[in-house]
Structure 1
Amino acid sequence: MSAQKPTIVLVHGAFADSSSWNGVVDKLKSHGYPVVAASNPLRGLTSDAAHVRQLVSSIDGPVVLAGHSYGGSVISNAATGLDNVKALVFAAAFLPEEGESAVTLSGKFPGSTLGEALRPVPVTLPNGSQVADLYIEQSKFHAQFAADVPEETTTIMASTQRPVTDAALAEGASAPAWKSIPSWVVVATEDQNIPHQTQIFMAERAKATVVTVTSSHAVSVSRPGDVARAINEAAQATA
């Protein structure tokens, strides 16, 4: 009898939604994996991670948890102490140490132009706190986020992007799951959000298996086959 295939849980990052994983989902399902593309609230790191943690805890059997961009911070928080999570995959994503934020890491090495492309919108959260929802200016979305994706696609992505709060990006991480769970990192060499050098630094610090691809930040959209292969490798290596 063959071993149970793990459920692959995919967590999108800021300025995206679950549909950013569509190409990856298609590849994984063709190999027989059950897949869930989670909806990441993008409101605050602790609360976002708790949301994903509850989803993962509801799944019977082993899980491979993958995150893109800010979703990397979320999965690293969410997976700590969950015995059913067998591997983590970070696709052009943050792997924060305890106390580090996405803002801190994106500025660790030069190269990110995200700050210049953002449009803040003041909002009040249900608890009464005042934050800013951050959007990428639609006219800058293609060049900033997904330069290797056809413009007819990025026009739609820009219009449907989900904002992240400035508080979420500035919130420090809790104890990271990558210290105890085997990790794979897909490094995007042409990333304008998280500098290539930052991605390498985080991957090496985590002693992760590294897959390097020539891609924009939107690696799950432009290179879904490469991302799916990394997830498949992680699933097989930890079976």
Structure 2
Amino acid sequence: MSDASRPTVVLVHGAFADASSFAKVIPALLAEGYGVVAPAVPNRSLIGDAEYVASVVRRIAGPVILVGHSYGGAVITVAGAEENVKALVYLAGYALEEGESLGELQGRFPDSDLAAALEYAPFPVPGSSEPGTDVSVRPDAFPSVFAADVDPGLAAVLAVTQRPLAALAFAETAPVAAWKTKPSWGLVASSDHTINPAVERFGYERAHMTTVEVDSSHLVMLAHPESVVDLIGQAAKSVQA
């Protein structure tokens, strides 16, 4: 049962995964009395995804800790401007500056192994004669690039149940950077082969976040859930204080 004195934790997944990527984190948060919401992010566009997450946040009474993994970090950078968001937590994520895109931030650093493992597929866009482009990770490369320290059986399932990201999301710029006005925490996955850890460090340092490093693959929530829960707890305690 949730504790009314505690903030609600909203968990925002990234690209190539879905809300089930928080499956090892959610039980621990619930056991500690937090309300938890883990929405299914459309992964169609940065602006649209942020608007969707913001609509979820607005329906929650009371303070919110907004947690974003990977691309979800870019989403919470925008959606975190909602009034009841009291803290942001980035997990191996992109912390964009206002007016900056994923492609621009990523382009300042050497490519990770992800770049050579991506595959592209068209998808229909309602009302348009031009298809969109879905970006995903080749299933054979997924375990080593995305989930190297996750149970191999689970990694194999995740590889074939990906939630692709529309290519449009890489080019859209963030209209706001919520970390400028909200206290923020960041986790660097130091063995990340999906996002260059230097990208994570740069964004967190620029935002003056409280930062921790974990020797983990990109899917730190499944590989090291205790570290994730601890960091969320630090953010939540600061809000309660």
TM score, norm. by length of structure 1: 0.96
Deviations 1:57-85 (A, max 9, x none): 000011000000000110111121x2211
Aligned equivalents of 1:155 and 1:15: distance in 2? Answer: 13
Does the 8 Å CA contact 1:111/1:195 hold for their aligned counterparts? Answer: yes
2:92 counterpart of 1:92: yes
Residue range with higher mean Cα deviation, 130-139 or 181-190:
130-139
Aligned runs of 1:41-56 on 2, under 5 Å?
A: 41-56=42-57
| Shift, 1:3, TM fit | 6.9
Aligned equivalents of 2:122 and 2:88: distance in 1? Answer: 34
Residue number in structure 2 paired with 1:166:
167
Residue number in structure 2 paired with 1:183:
184
| Partner-residue secondary structure (3-state), 2:213 | strand
Aligned equivalents of 2:215 and 2:104: distance in 1? Answer: 24
| Partner-residue secondary structure (3-state), 1:87 | strand
| Partner-residue secondary structure (3-state), 1:160 | coil
Does the 8 Å CA contact 1:15/1:163 hold for their aligned counterparts? Answer: yes
Residue range with higher mean Cα deviation, 186-195 or 104-113:
104-113
Q: Which runs of 5+ in 1 are unaligned?
A: none
Deviations 1:78-134 (A, max 9, x none): 121x22111000000000011222222223222412121011001222241432101
| Shift, 1:216, TM fit | 0.7
Deviations 1:141-190 (A, max 9, x none): 00110111121110000111110011112211111100000000011001
Aligned runs of 1:40-189 on 2, under 5 Å?
A: 40-80=41-81, 82-128=82-128, 129-189=130-190
Aligned equivalents of 2:149 and 2:106: distance in 1? Answer: 21
Aligned equivalents of 2:147 and 2:4: distance in 1? Answer: 37
Q: Which runs of 5+ in 2 are unaligned?
A: none
Identity of aligned pairs, percent?
45
| Partner-residue secondary structure (3-state), 2:140 | helix
| Partner-residue secondary structure (3-state), 2:25 | helix
- Name the amino acid aligned to 2:110: P
Residue number in structure 2 paired with 1:210:
211
Does the 8 Å CA contact 1:70/1:169 hold for their aligned counterparts? Answer: no
Residue number in structure 2 paired with 1:9:
10
- How much is the aligned-residue C-alpha RMSD, in angstroms? 1.2
TM score, norm. by length of structure 2: 0.95
Q: Which stretches of structure 1, 4 residues or longer, exceed 6 Å deviation after superposition?
A: none
Aligned equivalents of 2:201 and 2:163: distance in 1? Answer: 27
Residue number in structure 1 paired with 2:194:
193
Change (3 A) 1:3 1:165: closer
Does the 8 Å CA contact 1:6/1:33 hold for their aligned counterparts? Answer: yes
Change (3 A) 1:205 1:197: same
| Partner-residue secondary structure (3-state), 1:155 | helix
Residues matched between the structures, number: 237
Aligned equivalents of 1:33 and 1:131: distance in 2? Answer: 38
